[in-house]
Structure 1
Amino acid sequence: MSSQPTLDKMTMVGALLSFLMFCWADSRNLVFQPSSIIATGPEITALLLGNIENVSLNVRTVFTSNVSGSIESPSCASEETLWIVSKELVGKNARVNLRLNKSLHLCGDNETDCCPKPLCVLDTLRLSACVGNTVHASLLIQARIHAHLISAYPGFDNQTVIPNQVYQPLGSCPCDLTVQTCDIRCCCDKDCSTEELKLFQSHCLPGPFGGQLTPVPDYHCSAQREDSPDWFPFFCVISPPENNPYLGLFYNGDTIIPKPRPSFQKPVLSAPVFNIYRQGNPIFTLDDHLFTIPQMAIGHCVYNAPVAFLENFNFKCVTLLDSCPTAFPLQTLPSDLEIQVNNGQGGVVTVQVRDELVVDLSHFLSDAVVNSDQGQECKDVTLALDYTFYWKGNQITNITLIRSVGTVILNGRVALTTRYSAIFLTRDYVGDSNSGNPGYQVGRPVIAGIESAQNNTFSVQRTSIYIWKPVRDGLCFTAEKQPVLFAENSTSGCLFRVSLQNLAQCDLLRDTVGSLQKNLITAIYVANSGNPNSETEADWVKINYVNSSTSLGDGDGSCSGIPSHIHIYIWSLVTETAEGNAQRNIQAIQVRSTLSTWTLDCGGGDLSPCADPTEAQLFPVTSSVTFIDIPIHPGPPKTRFQINFTEYDCNRNDVCWPQLAFPVTKYYTGEPHSQALAKGLILVFFFIAASVLGTPWRQIRQAWNSSLVL
């Protein structure tokens, strides 16, 4: 009999523990941060902290009780409001976003989705986080949102069209910039209501642009006061009120109706006249739009860059892919690329597209697995667009396009390098690419050449001279080369990995770096003009190679005589003028190699490079080019007086005495010298007259007369 109560107590204790464990497991500890928000805009953001699994969000409009004055308690019942609720995960928590699903512009005629009053939304909202039908957290929101003071009329583009002042007067409120809308701080705006004016009545725009006339300037003759000096009438400005910087802002005269009159301008034709293609002119499509190909401009890829006639280019663009591309230019169709182009003579040329499948994507992908069974598969990704334009005279005869496509496997973020190029051919072969006719054009490649033996006659095979173009990691073994462009100074380089093991073999290190630098410049000659003849020796200038001498002093952990820098000096001269354009030719070129000593740096507490033979450091390998202009007319040599005596030299002295009396000197060219001299003498006369007739002279006469009386 005594064991039965004990068993009942144990059963009750177990049930109580089970209930507490259930309550503890179901506790969410959810909380909104912040707990209350006063919203003045159409978007509201808050954080929901805690276990957000199976949590639903709903927003309700709540009201204050007229009896107790308290706000309604939170509820999980759904209600249709003007707010759209969404959430996004932020770690283990969530960011909750509320967006007003209503337009905030003021209502016009026959409009519904708009604001009837300037105070558009005035609500108290309760955002609840519920699990099932239980509220675990709530957020109180007070929304007080005004309408946007912008025009809802698409024809006006939110701006007042200012007409020509000759034919249409402008109103007396220059700060009224928007139609049928109150402009902030514009107190003369007729569209502002009394309530709106009270918001900024004490902060109206000052000056003429706020509709307030400016006072008379102090230098104006009408501004003379009793305390003005005696010389004020001689130096004040007489000008009518209409002649001021704000002429036209407050013009309220009559409207002048323009009358038809004879015109000597070129008549407007009904159909556009197409100009023939010349080098550098843009290429147009059949519907008079620019023919575009993705190109690089100012360090960025421009997908709608126009193509210039007879201008070859080859650009690469890097795109970071997180998902499969769906838009141009990474996703293209042959039908979209078969564009009809104006051939320059009024005819039509259609782009002929040919597809090539790329299997090896190692040249297009970096920092990604090229072939993998895992990841997202993106098919028919456009990897390259190579255009070939065939031309004859000023006409395009044919256009072909090779579209390279391949399958990209996305395993994380992928850096995709795409290529876009255009080349112009004539007679079905690549002609010699000139850099000017006859002189070099700025920005065109410098033409170099290698001598080729051909029946004991002079003949040059064209090539280019290059400088470094670092890409990706900037290392010399992955760097590319870029041609030297005429009249554009440049300095570039790459990084070379050197370890203690490399510094133990200095001869091999010198040969390796030297071979890298020699690959930049393999030419013997440089063309002195932009269109040289390969068989005319007078059209070519021999390159002068200069090596700086230094004694080899190799030691432990250091190597000297490393050809780490090459510098290219190019002298150019203006030799003639063709059609008003100066023609520049290359007169001489020198390639100078600078030797340096490489030593591992083990300072700063990092001793690993000097202790571990395989630990490497980075050393710079650089290249540069400098263009030097040779003056056309150097002029006679300066005398000793011109060199040493600089007191009267306005170009070398801060104080220029000859220009002290500027209007009456030869440096003043605004009007004839005789008129300037006459006006200067008249000004001196008035100055003397003002001195004689002014207060100082009158005081002298009074003192003289008083002395005579005594």
Structure 2
Amino acid sequence: MANVVKIVFFQLILRRVTCVLLFMSLAHTQNIVEFQPSYVTTTGSTVTALLLGNTSDVSLNLRAVSPSSTTGSIGPPSCVAEVTQWVLTREQVGKSAVQFQLRLERSLRLCGENETDTDCCPKPLCVLETLQVSACVGSKPQASLLIQARIHALLVPANAASDNKTVIPNQVFTPLGSCPCDLTFGACDVRCCCDKDCSTEDLKLFVSHCLPGPFGGQVSTDPDYQCSVQSNENSPDWFPFLCVNSPPENNPYLGLFYQGDTIASKPGPSFQTLASSAPVPVNIYIQGSPIFTANNQYFTVPQMVLGRCVNNAPVAFLNNFEVQCVTRLSSCPTGSPLQTPQTDLRIQVKDGQGGDVMVDVIDEVAVDLSLFISSTDADASSDESLVCDNVTLALDYKFYWKGNGITSITLTHTVGTITLNRSAVLTTRYSAEFLNGEFSGEPNSGNPGYQVGRPVIAGIVDFLDNNTGSIQRTSISLWKPVSDGLCSTAEKKPVLFGENSTSGCLLPVSRQNLTQCDLLRDTVTALQADLVTATYVAKSGNPDPLMLTDWLNISFVTLNSSSPMEDSTSTCYGIPSHQHIQAWSVITGIVDGIPQRDISSLQVSYSLSSWALDCGGGDVSPCLDPSETQLFPITSSVTFIDIPIDTGPPKTRFQINFTEYDCNRNDVCWPELAFPFTKYYTGEPYSQSLAKGLILVFFFITASILGTPWRQIRQAWN
């Protein structure tokens, strides 16, 4: 019987899947269109929806509908448009999608009494209707969308202020904030007992829970010496003769912070754009100061500001940058920076030492445009095409500096010829690099210790012509997944000092890849090794590239797999899927009260894992099709460990566990019995307590000698 039930159950599932596949095939062959969403309820004056499918010959018709009085249902869609109070607009957002919008063309203001204007709402419920949008091909409807509109009128205060001046009363006699909890105009605020909009019935609901203190309108409570405060039960005998009778109007806060003067507001807007002042040239350049041209203007290069490319961004001294700006071209550019003549690039720049330097321009023509043209919308039916000559593709500046000045500037101007059929997406590159002789003027990450949030400085050894080694800076990075999260499209982000982070990307792996485990391991190892290309890490935030003592060797450790096994046809073991960076930092000193942290060690380790295809959940295609892939994660992380400052030798077990004489962790403290001779007595200086204690001891001994016991001993002796 159980087997029969299972067979019937699987037959039902197979029928449903077959129906769904037939419907999808039929929809594909007939180019059926549909609305997303299929039903909308709106309370505002704007409605937006999408029409998906083959929308090339589809028209949209709008009409107002109502349910049938007999059946209660809406009639079939119609391709006959009607005049409504809504305006329908559409916009093509893709080859198979149309975005349309309905906008209410009427005022939502509530009509006043005896008002004859028709462009207002006679009732609070201003609009209550059902709309139907039909997608038609010719006169045949293909799909429909129902919109239920329920819009209330806007309530505008009848006594809206029209004067732009605010009358402020004399604050010597009237507090400015008489009821601070009155936050809503024309409505009663709960628990605000000083709100004038609250009726007597409203106050009865929360009269015993009024907001106390200044926020509830009680600027100051009555003091204890007021005669109205004390009652007959708890008042002392002297209170009726010494209490003070003072009216509540004599508030001590009145006039305390305000002198009673009134200030009339000035007409005009309350916000105005400040006029930007002209740039002030500097005498010498320091790191971060803007570079100026010979006519005292900012020297600008397109840069990324707040996530957007700005064409006129000033260049800062000793600050390197490299940005990419994306521009969609539908016609040939005519202005800067995409069309810049050489005369505009060859300009005079102040060198920061009282002179000028000329920008030396080197023109290069790009033959391969694949690095700059990311995508094009080609139209094979279009016979007309635009040819754009000498389009700027890249501007690469090199600033040579010495001390606080610039010695020379070299610009590599890359141009190319772009052919436009309809439009193209152009990616232009701009960069600036400051070179001191043969070394790049890289920005530091602290002075001298690292600053939290600045990149960790790393490098590799570069041997010069005279066989002297120097450190060429490189990066230690983590994964920065974008768009689809695949490792092929993922970017890299630098490791920031003091900030722990974990990131990763996805690698598509097929059954065929799992038969070549050595190649798969080499591929993952190469991807992980590309994150850490350095062999040295800087101890401090401002290392010297010529001083190897400022750098530390990076140690690389490969962790063994938890269960070492031999590879099989469907499983690969020992995949270095996780890279972990551990950095130990220590405080080496204090500068101006700020602790300076240095890196004392950096270790890169790899965790090994096994990869096998997961064919559960009904998806068995990766296990049957050798080219079908599954996504496997490749992760990277960084952890910063603070090494505590050495405060002395560690405590022994006796010092940790033996608390009999510890006054801080024991209720009975025997050293306190020797007050005031021990250090535990802190009521007065130790010298004074010792002197007073010795005096007390002297008097005690004297009293004992002269007292009755000693007199009896002397009598017995005699």
TM-score, normalization: structure 2? Answer: 0.54
The one-letter amino acid paired with 1:224 is: V
Between the aligned partners of 1:477 and 1:588, the Cα distance in structure 2 is 31
Whether the aligned pair in 2 keeps the contact of 1:221 and 1:233 (CA below 8 Å) is: no
Q: CA–CA distance in 2 between the matches of 1:311 and 1:530? A: 16
Answer yes or no: is 1:424 the counterpart of 2:425. no
Instruction: Indicate the residue corresponding to 1:489 in structure 2.
Output: 500
Q: Distance in 2 between matches of 1:120 and 1:394?
A: 76
Matched, 1:514 2:519: no
| Structure 2 CA distance for aligned equivalents of residues 572 and 350 of structure 1 | 45
2:582 to 569, 575, 581: 569
* Equivalent residue, structure 2, for 1:525: 536
1:231–1:426 Cα change, 3 Å: farther
1:295 is matched with 304
Contact 1:378 / 1:409 at 8 angstroms: preserved in 2? yes
Aligned-partner residue type, residue 571 of structure 2: S
Q: Quick one: distance in 2 between partners of 1:548 and 1:338? A: 56
Query: Residues 460 and 535 of structure 1 are in contact (CA less than 8 Å); yes or no, is this contact kept in structure 2?
Result: yes
- Alpha-carbon separation, structure 2, partners of 1:247 and 1:568: 63
Residue 416 of structure 1: CA displacement? 6.0
Q: Distance in 1 between matches of 2:387 and 2:160?
A: 46
1:539 maps to 2:522:
no
**Given that residues 302 and 313 in structure 2 are in contact (C-alpha distance below 8 angstroms), is that contact kept between their aligned partners in structure 1?**
yes
Partner of 1:502: 513
Which residue in the other structure is 2:458 paired with? Answer: 447
Partner of 1:469: 480
Q: How far apart are residue 625 of structure 1 and its match?
A: 2.2
What is the aligned length?
A: 536
- 8 A Cα contact 2:511 2:623, kept in partner: yes
Residue 88 of structure 1 is matched in structure 2 by 89
**Deviation (angstroms), 1:348:** 8.3
Shift of residue 560, structure 1, vs aligned partner: 0.5
1:253 paired to 2:254: no
Distance in structure 1 (CA, Å) of the matches to 2:523 and 2:485: 17
Letter in 2 for 1:568: I
The match for 2:712 is: none
Q: Deviation at 1:599?
A: 1.0
Q: Which residue in the other structure is 1:393 paired with?
A: 403
Contact 1:322/1:410 (8 A) holds in 2: no
The 1-side partners of 2:89 and 2:167 are apart by: 44
CA–CA separation in structure 1 for the residues paired with 2:446 and 2:522: 37
- CA shift digits 1:458-502 (9 cap, x unpaired): 555543333333344333334344443433433232222211111
Q: Which moved more, 1:450-459 or 1:309-318?
A: 450-459
Maintained 8 Å contact 1:87/1:95 = yes
| C-alpha contact 1:500 1:613 (8 A) present in aligned 2 | yes
Structure 1 match to 2:229: 224
Aligned equivalent of 2:567: 554
Residue identity matched to 1:312: N
1:352–1:373 CA distance, 2 compared to 1 (3 A):
farther
Q: CA separation in 2, counterparts of 1:327 and 1:171?
A: 60
After superposition, what is the alpha-carbon deviation per residue over 1:418-458, rounded to whole angstroms, capped at 9, x for unaligned?
Answer: 54433334458744665455444441341222365978765
Which residue number corresponds to residue 313 of structure 1?
Answer: 321
User: CA offsets per residue over residues 605-638 of structure 1, 9 Å max, x none?
Assistant: 1111111122111111222222222233344424
Aligned residue identity for 1:88: T
1:626 aligns with 2:631: no
Contact kept in structure 2, 1:361 and 1:370, CA below 8 Å = no
Question: Are 1:565 and 1:594, in contact at CA under 8 Å, matched by a contact in 2?
Answer: yes
Q: Distance in 2 between matches of 1:163 and 1:331?
A: 61
SS in 1 for 2:523: helix
- Residues 24-71 of structure 1 deviation map (CA, whole Å, 9 limit, x = unaligned): xxxxxxxxxxxxx9x9x9x78899xxx9989999xxxxxxxxxxxxxx
Establish whether residue 605 from structure 1 lines up as the match of residue 614 from structure 2.
no
Decide whether the 8 Å contact of 2:525 with 2:576 is kept in 1: yes
Residue in 2 aligned with 1:596? 609
Measure, in 2, the Cα distance between the counterparts of 1:302 and 1:481.
20
Gap change, CA 1:423 and 1:358, over 3 Å in 2:
same
Tell me how far 1:561 sits from its aligned partner: 0.8
Q: What is the letter of the counterpart of residue 491 of structure 1?
A: T
Q: Which residue of 1 aligns with 2:370?
A: 362
Residue 506 of structure 1 deviates from its aligned partner by 1.4
For 1:245 and 1:402, the matched residues in 2 are separated by 74
Q: 8 Å contact 1:172–1:252 — kept in the other structure?
A: no
Residues 496 and 296 (structure 1 numbering): CA distance in 2 closer, same or farther, change over 3 Å?
Answer: farther
Cα offset, 1:597, TM superposition? 0.7
| CA shift in 2, pair 1:613/1:55, >3 Å | closer
CA deviations over 1:493-526 (Å, ceiling 9, x no partner)? 2222211111112122222222222333343333
CA contact (8 A) 1:169 1:251 kept: no
Tell me: CA distance 1:497–1:55, structure 2 relative to 1, closer, same or farther (3 Å). Answer: closer
CA distance in 1, matches of 2:523, 2:638: 22
Give the partner amino acid of 1:493: G
Is the Cα–Cα contact under 8 Å of residues 171 and 252 in structure 1 kept in the other structure? no
Give, in angstroms, the shift of residue 580 of structure 1: 5.6
DSSP 3-state at the match of 2:556: strand
Distance 1:359 1:460 in 2: 34
8 Å contact kept, 1:648–1:656:
no
Residues 230 and 468 of structure 1, relative CA distance in 2, 3 Å threshold:
same
TM-score where L is the length of structure 1: 0.54
CA offset at residue 545 of structure 1?
1.7
TM-fit CA distance, 1:144: 8.5
| Distance in 1 between residues matched to 2:368 and 2:584, nearest whole Å | 45
Post-superposition shift, 1:537? 3.8
C-alpha spacing 1:186/1:207, structure 2 compared with 1 (3 Å): farther
Find the residue that maps to 1:508 and give its secondary structure.
helix
What is the CA–CA distance in structure 2 between the aligned matches of 1:594 and 1:231, rounded to whole Å? 79
User: Is the partner of 1:596 in helix, strand or coil?
Assistant: strand
Please tell me whether the aligned partners of residues 465 and 520 of structure 1 are also in contact (alpha carbons under 8 angstroms): yes
Does structure 2 retain, via aligned residues, the 8 Å contact 1:281–1:309?
yes
Q: What amino acid sits opposite 2:570 in the alignment? A: G
The one-letter amino acid paired with 1:598 is W
- Overall identity of the aligned pairs, in %: 46
What is the rounded CA distance, in whole Å, between the counterparts of 1:629 and 1:144 in structure 2?
A: 62
Q: Deviations over 1:307-327 (max 9, x none)?
A: 5432222234567x5977999
CA distance in 1, matches of 2:470, 2:439: 20
Deviation of 1:575 after TM superposition, in Å, equals 2.6
The DSSP-based 3-state class of the residue aligned with 1:214 is coil
Measure the CA separation in 1 of the matches of 2:517 and 2:661. Answer: 60
Q: Is the 8 A contact 1:355 1:405 kept in 2?
A: no
What secondary structure is seen at the aligned counterpart in 2 of 1:516? helix
> Shift of the alpha carbon at 1:86?
5.8
Partner AA of 1:511 in structure 2: D
Is residue 214 from structure 1 mapped to residue 214 from structure 2 by the alignment?
no
- Verify the 8 A CA contact 2:587 2:598 in the aligned structure 1: yes
Question: Match for 1:573: what amino acid?
Answer: V
The alignment's C-alpha RMSD in Å is 6.8
Residues 487, 343 of structure 1: alpha-carbon distance in 2 compared, 3 angstrom cutoff = farther
Gaps in structure 2 of 5+ consecutive residues: 1-41, 50-56, 64-82, 92-96, 122-150, 189-195, 204-209, 264-276, 670-681, 685-718
SS at match of 1:541: strand
Letter in 1 for 2:319: E
**Structure 1 residue 598: deviation in Å?**
0.7
